[in-house]
Structure 1
Amino acid sequence: MAETEVEGGVVVYELLGPEDGEVVTVTPGGRFGKDYPGVRDFAEALARGGKRVLIWDRPNTGASDVQLYGRSESHMRAATLAGVVERLDLGPVVALGGSGGARDSIVFAIEYPELVRKLVVWSIVGGAFSSMSLASVYVLDEIRAVRRGGIDGILALRGRAGNWSDLVAANPRNRRRLLELGAEEFERVMWRWFEAYVPKANEAIPGVADHEIRGIRVPTLVVRGGEEDIDHPKRTSFEVHALIKGSRLIDPPWPEDAWERAQEARDAGRGSIFDPWMEAVPTFLDFIDEPSTPNEPNGTSR
């Protein structure tokens, strides 16, 4: 485990696999860090395939510093990933991301195209239900808590996406960082980040305009959403595929109900929501190893 500083905050990361392997960045969803069950196993499987894999604690996850800036939380995380890649001289990289990590990786490819060679995204959030659901997970409780109890209210919050008190336990600097930020600025950022989750006709995914996604020019693999996955709708994966010229859409390498069954397994203490990702490793490695052919007509692979 190592750390570097980006935008005034410490970012904790690890590099797995051979030093001469092609660099792949792995970004999970939620406010979950690199040590959340399932993430490391997935990264290690990619590393066994010969890749140099970057796993990292995004701001507001794991042991990294709390950060609150940017147009949205995904834009902040994309800027952070760019900073890590540049400081470690890793780019251009293959960016892999699932769920919230798919959104982070898409923004990364939009904002920092010179750092991205290929893009692989799955379990993409979009549409009214899943976007509004994310607002309740990431910002609405925070707004209520900070208005009622200030930063102490935030530290006492027990959220579904991870607790701010856990971030302090993992990194004691975070209490001071939150206190120095103050309740007024914390609330101001939460209101700005909330705006990203308000459904808009011109945004296939929260907080990212369709015309921005159309600007992605790297070879892109999009995994179709599961038939019954209301958190990562099938429709959204088709929309993202349609927006990225030359992208490839594939059926999920896992069962159609994998997300629902993984949540059940997690809640029963029998696994992680990210366990199904392991089934995609061979497919992802094959795509990474293909010669790059950007800007081809959109095609669907079954």
Structure 2
Amino acid sequence: MPDREIEINGGVVVYEFVGPEDGEIVVLTPGGRFGKDAGGLHELADALADGGKRVLLWDRPNCGKSDVQLYGRSESHMRAETLGLMLQALGVEQVIAAGGSGGARDSIIFAMRWPRLVRKLALWSIVGGTFSTMSLAQVYVLDELRVVRAKGIEGVLEMSGAAGGWADAIAANPRNRDRLLALGSEQFERVMNRWLDAFVPKPNEPIPGVSDWEFEQIKVPTLIIRGGEKDYDHPKRTSMEVHALIEGSRLIEPPWPEDAWERAVAASLAGTGDLFGPWVKAAPVLLEFFAEP
């Protein structure tokens, strides 16, 4: 299906549907600042579509071809707000929210903020713990703060990164240059300072920016795929903590090898594979969960 566009909160969001028009909608959300066309995503979307689902793939703000947006308590809270408003604008009454890595965090917050829009929740590769959380502070915020303080917003325009950067956002969508310039150095720094708080490890936050008590808001059937034994970016412990905090959730063994993430990172860096390539292996367990009453 061709890309579609919709304006949400003054910014364009790019999205597409994959699968039969009469299928139940599954919103599939990846991690990083990666867009919907990142390698591995369409393979999983196609597998879910073959199972009768209609998959919504979307470029979250600051990802892919969508417009840059900077507001909210954290970047994930902003994305969750965007998704809820987008689904309302599209006339979608309810979805299954599914996501991995940063997309798991986005999906969790979406389910908390828009409970009436969510029928089920599926999560994997959940970020948490000291190393993972502090690593993300570096990936998403600390370099931005260093650059904007040293070179202003003009320096930010030139930033690129392994998880997606502002120069990448401009290359995919030239409007983003003017949007960032209009935002300005002072406001960009202000937002980054606020977003940084989510990545300061806190004892009562199993995932960045979300406190223990907030998980009681999730009342829908939830499937959690356990983190790999040596996956330091998405620790086994964090998936178990989230399972303990979401009442009635189900924790299952990963359908990929314990070191699948490490292998995928190496393959992606070497140009021999995709970061999200292993995710298609989850299609059978996801479809089974989706089909349950």
Same fold (TM over 0.5): yes
Q: Is the 8 A contact 1:17 1:44 kept in 2?
A: yes
* Residue in structure 2 matched with residue 300 of structure 1 by the alignment: none
The 1-side partners of 2:158 and 2:286 are apart by: 40
After TM superposition, what 4+ stretches of structure 1 lie above 2 angstroms from structure 2? none
- In 2, the alpha carbon distance for the partners of 1:91 and 1:42 equals 23
Distance 2:165 2:197 in 1: 22
1:57 is matched with which residue? 59
Q: Hey, what's the Cα distance between the residues in 1 that align with 2:83 and 2:46?
A: 19
> Residue in 2 aligned with 1:285?
287
Structure 1 residue 155 displacement after superposition = 1.1
Alignment pair present for 1:8 and 2:10: yes
Given the alignment of the two structures, is residue 271 of structure 1 paired with residue 257 of structure 2, yes or no? Answer: no
Among residues 145, 154, 157, which one is paired with 1:155 in the alignment? 157
Report if the CA contact (8 A) 2:120-2:221 is conserved. Answer: yes
Q: CA deviation at 1:74?
A: 0.2
Task: Tell me how far 1:163 sits from its aligned partner.
Answer: 2.2
Over the aligned positions, Cα root-mean-square deviation in angstroms equals: 0.7
Contact kept in structure 2, 1:145 and 1:153, CA below 8 Å: yes
- The answer (yes or no) to whether the contact 1:141–1:159 under 8 Å persists in 2 is no
Match of 2:221 in 1: 219
- Find the residue that maps to 2:281 and give its secondary structure: helix
Count of matched residue positions in the alignment of Structure 1 and Structure 2: 291
- Write the distance in 2 (CA, Å) between the matches of 1:272 and 1:188: 34
Secondary structure in structure 1 of the residue aligned to 2:13: strand
CA distance in 1, matches of 2:181, 2:207: 32
Give how far 1:45 is off.
1.2
1:42 to 44, 48, 65: 44
How far residue 4 of structure 1 moved from its aligned partner, in angstroms, is: 0.5
Structure 2: 5+ residue runs without aligned partners? none
Q: CA deviation at 1:176?
A: 0.8
- Within 2, Cα distance between the matches of 1:267 and 1:63? 22
**Within 2, Cα distance between the matches of 1:255 and 1:50?**
27
Q: Is the 8 A contact 2:199 2:208 kept in 1?
A: yes
Provide the rounded CA distance (Å) in 1 between the counterparts of 2:99 and 2:93.
16
State the Cα distance separating 1:168 from its structure 2 match. Answer: 1.1
**8 Å Cα contact 1:263-1:273 kept in structure 2:** yes
Structure 2 distance, partners of 1:289, 1:89, is 23
Q: Structure 2: how far apart are the matches of 1:201 and 1:253?
A: 30
SS in 2 for 1:200: coil
TM-score with structure 2 setting the length: 0.98
Shift of 1:40: 1.3
Separation in 2 of the partners of 1:15 and 1:185? Answer: 34
Partner Cα separation in structure 1 for residue 178 and residue 168 of structure 2: 14
Indicate which of 226, 236, 239 corresponds to 1:237.
239
User: Secondary structure at 1:266's aligned position in 2?
Assistant: helix
Structure 2 CA distance, aligned partners of 1:160 and 1:194? 19
**Equivalence for 1:187:** 189
Normalised by the length of structure 1, the TM-score is 0.95
Q: Could you list the per-position Cα deviations for residues 105-138 of structure 1 after superposition, in whole angstroms to 9, with x for gaps in the alignment?
A: 0000001001000000000000111000000000
What's the CA shift string for 1:7-63, capped at 9, x where partnerless? 111000001111110000000000000011111111111111110110000000000
SS in 1 for 2:150: helix
The amino acid of 2:201's aligned partner reads P
Query: Hey, what's the Cα distance between the residues in 1 that align with 2:86 and 2:287?
Result: 23
Matched with 1:261 is: 263
Instruction: Kindly provide the amino acid, as one letter, of the partner of residue 283 in structure 1.
Output: V
Q: Does the 8 Å contact 2:160/2:168 carry over to 1?
A: no
For 2:162 and 2:17, locate their aligned partners in 1 and report how far apart those are by CA, in whole Å: 28
In structure 1, runs of 5+ residues without a counterpart are 292-302
Alignment partners' CA distance in 2, 1:147 and 1:161: 22
